[in-house]
Amino acid sequence: MKTFFVIIIWILSLNTGCNTSDSINNQEPPSGQTHQLEVEVLAKDLENPWSIAFLPDGRMLIAERPGRLRFFENGQLSAPISGLPPIWQNGQGGLLEVALHPEHENNGWIYLGYASSIDGQKGNTAIGRAKLEGSTLVDFEQLFWGTPLTDLTYHFGCRIVFDGQNRLYFPIGDRGEMENAQKLSNHNGKLMRIHDDGRIPLDNPFVGEDNARPEIYNYGHRNIQGMAIHPETGEIWTHEHGPRGGDEINIEKPGANYGWPIVTFGINYDGTTITNDTTLPGITDPIHYWVPSIAPCGMCFVTSDKYPNWKNNLIVTALAGQQIQRLTLSGAQVVNTEKLLQGYARFRDIRQGPDGYLYVLTERPGQLIRLKPID
């Protein structure tokens, strides 16, 4: 059964400048920028839902981390879809992403990001694709598997976005070994780029470089869990988890080094220092960061007319912060942030649907919700 309630949203903090802390500059809400929202609960009892994709026939695909992919149709969740590859559910690992090929209506390809292991002891993030026949995935192909394999249970990434040439981008976190993020000989702590069939683009920045993995697009990341294409520039925007503080928003450039762990605005969880540097020569700085950490996860740009005051705003969902943040942009600068639905749940993913509304996946409780402006 659907349930409804109304939440009044107020702007709680206003940030200016490129590198600003989320904890400063509290001001009154600018008039006309906020929306009153109706939160529509569409589905309940999801277990660690991670990702949403919208099929052309109006159904949704919802990926749950324990290794289930389900349809949502006519207000109902289906039984799990069969034919998935073996999913390594281990710590933060599991089924982490579902995405449609930009030409899905013609080729039927559905892409998955998931943790994979041969022996159940060590593994890493993998990318695969398949097609749907009824409620079964068929013609599955594994396109990529990150190296090295490790028994550590965190920082798997993973999101998938496609550019205008149907190349797909996806991240793997540092897998709990921070020094890997600065080593081009492995995939961990990197953003990768491959063709839609798994081939490596010949113009990838490290193709042909000794001891470098050719799939790497850039490096120096801790754990990217949000990606979106900017609706006007076509650039890839990401956010990633810092340690204790230092979550970042970055614009992804080929060959760039984003600094982890040699620069960070965060500290270790035990309060000790990782580094005293927040920037260095040759490092690409974030356009925005959060201190204290909010643990950002999903992100999307608002392009529909359903939220007229939010056009081209960036929306970020947060886990530890238990909030959604709306970021107003001026070019590549974050000039304003608004906190939404604080304390409602751990927010895992957000996507703009074909109908123009924002759809959100939450944890604790595990729900699919839709945000509808009523003003």
Catalytic positions, please? Answer: 155
Distance CA 82, CA 353 (A): 25
Structure token pair of residue 340: 């939404």
Whether 297 contacts 348, CB under 8 Å:
yes
Sheet holding 37-43, edge to edge: 3-7, 37-43, 367-373, 358-363, 346-352
Whether 265 contacts 317, CB under 8 Å:
no
Whose tokens are 């999913």? That residue is 87
What is the phi/psi pair of residue 104, to 5°? -55, -40
Distance CA 332, CA 232 (A): 11
Distance CA 208, CA 220 (A): 20
Count of helices and strands (H, E) across the chain: 1, 25
DSSP-assigned letters across all residues of 187-211: STTEEEEE-TTSPPPTTSTTTT-TT
What is the phi/psi pair of residue 223, to 5°? -170, 90
Whether 163 contacts 236, CB under 8 Å:
yes
Structure token pair of residue 92: 């933060």
Give the torsion through C-alpha atoms of 341, 346, 349, 351, to 10 deg. -20
DSSP H/E element including 139: strand 136-145
Q: Among 204, 207, 146, which residue's Cα sits nearest to residue 180?
A: 146
Which spans in the chain are helix H? 104-107
Whose tokens are 């550019």? That residue is 163
